Structure 1
Amino acid sequence: MFGISSLGWVHTLGSLPAIPAAAYMFTVHGRIVPRSKAGAVYFVAMLIGAATVFLVAHQPVSYGVGAVTLVLLIVGYSVGRLPISGRVATYVETIALSLTAFLLMLPTVTEILRRVPDGHPFVTDLKSPLLLGAQGSILAALVIGLTVQIISLRRQGKTAA
């Protein structure tokens, strides 16, 4: 089904819970919060997805996306435990984890458009206007989202001071 191998399904279904977990945290907290139940779900699902991409990927860029995702995930989940300023750690954590959500959604949307509906996908060319528009929208959401998150963190810092 959809031309996905058994290992591909493990990759897909293993990383799938990260999407609603991220959506929940962005809606409720305005950012991904690592030290929460949804944050734990996000971490495990992202770890499964990023680690298994090396086994299922067919494009060299996929290996880069997987490696960068793993690095950002580790940075985002560990920076809060390091002995550095709380505000700096929160900024690094927020930016790193927002980038992981972007790196999750970019290939997710691309693969959906290239595989659905089964046998007659919406997109057959990587330069399709539909695909490029979807990818551009995800990039715009990242830029706008990070801007809003940083402004929000700055306001929280000012009210705490």
Structure 2
Amino acid sequence: MFGISPPGWAHTLGSLPAIPLAIYMFARHGRIVPRSRPGTIYFISMLIGAATVFSVAHQPASNAIGVVTLILLLAGYGVGLTQRLGRAGVYTETICLTLTAFFLAVPAVSETSRRVPDGHPLVTDLNSPLLIGAQASLLVALIVGITAQVIYLRRQKMTRPMHAEDVG
């Protein structure tokens, strides 16, 4: 179904939970909250997706996105484990994790539009105006989103990362 191999299904189903979790955390908290239950599940799901992309990638850019996503994911979750960076750590954490969501969304939109509906996909090639428009919209959302997050964090004057007890 949809021309997806067994490793492709493992990759897709492993990373799929990250999408609604990211949407939930962005809507509820304005950012991905790493030290929360949804944040922990997001981390595991993103780790599965980024680590398995190498077994299913057909484009060289896919491997690069996988590597960058892994680096950003580990940096975003790791920076909160130290207090050395202080307030800058919260900004670093937020930006890194928002970028992971972006690097999940770009191939998700591309692959979904090239496979759905089964047999008659919305897009047949990577240069489709529909696909380019969707990816451009994701880029605009990323720029607007990170800008809004930074403004919000500056107004909140957060001095430490948000923890599970902060999100109820």
TM over 0.5: yes
Structure 1 spans left out of the alignment, 5+ residues: none
Matched, 1:92 2:92: yes
Matched, 1:10 2:28: no
Contact 2:18–2:46 (CA under 8 A) maintained in structure 1: yes
Q: TM-score, normalised by structure 2?
A: 0.92
Give the distance between the partners of 2:85 and 2:52, measured in 1 at CA.
Answer: 34
Matched, 1:145 2:148: no
* Higher RCO, 1 vs 2 (CA within 8 Å, ≥6 residues apart): 2
Give the distance between the partners of 1:3 and 1:65, measured in 2 at CA.
Answer: 22
User: CA shift at 1:86, angstroms?
Assistant: 2.4
Contact 1:80–1:86 (CA under 8 A) maintained in structure 2: no
User: CA shift at 1:83, angstroms?
Assistant: 3.5
Structure 2 spans left out of the alignment, 5+ residues: 159-168
Percent same amino acid among aligned pairs? Answer: 65
**Matched pairs, number:** 158
Poorly superposed stretches of 4+, deviation over 3 Å? none
Give the root-mean-square deviation of aligned CA atoms.
0.9
Please show how residues 127-138 of structure 1 align to structure 2 within 5 Å.
127-138=127-138
Q: Deviations over 1:8-64 (max 9, x none)?
A: 000000000000110111011100000000000100000000000001111111000
Q: TM-score, normalised by structure 1?
A: 0.96
Please show how residues 33-112 of structure 1 align to structure 2 within 5 Å.
33-112=33-112
